[in-house]
Amino acid sequence: MDTREQLLVTAERLIAREGTGVSMRRINVEAGQKNASALHYHFGSREALIDAILERRMSVVNRRRVIMVDELERNGRHEDLRAIVSCIVWPLAECVGATDGMAHYVQFLDKVYRDPAIDLTRIISRKYNDGLYRANKMIVNLLTGIPQEIMHARVDHTIAQLVHIMADIDENLSSLHKRVQSRAELDFQVHNFIDYVCGALRAPSSPETESALSRKLMASADVRAEQSA
What is the per-residue pLDDT for 176? 56
What confidence tens digit (pLDDT) does each residue in 207-222 have?
Answer: 999 999 999 999 988 7
> What is the percent of the chain where pLDDT is above 90?
70
Angstrom distance (rounded) from CA 8 to CA 204 = 44
- Does residue 30 register a pLDDT over 80? yes
- Does residue 124 register a pLDDT over 90? no
Q: Are 66 and 130 in contact (CB under 8 A)?
A: yes
**HSE of 49 in the Cβ direction (CA atoms, 13 Å)?**
29
How confident is the model over 146-162, as a mean pLDDT? 94
Q: Which amino acid is at 153?
A: A
Q: Would you place residue 33 in the very low, low, confident or very high pLDDT band (cuts 50, 70, 90)?
A: confident
- Does residue 46 register a pLDDT over 90? no
Say how many Å lie between the first and final Cα of the chain, rounded.
55
What confidence tens digit (pLDDT) does each residue in 163-194 have?
Answer: 999 999 988 887 655 555 678 889 999 999 99
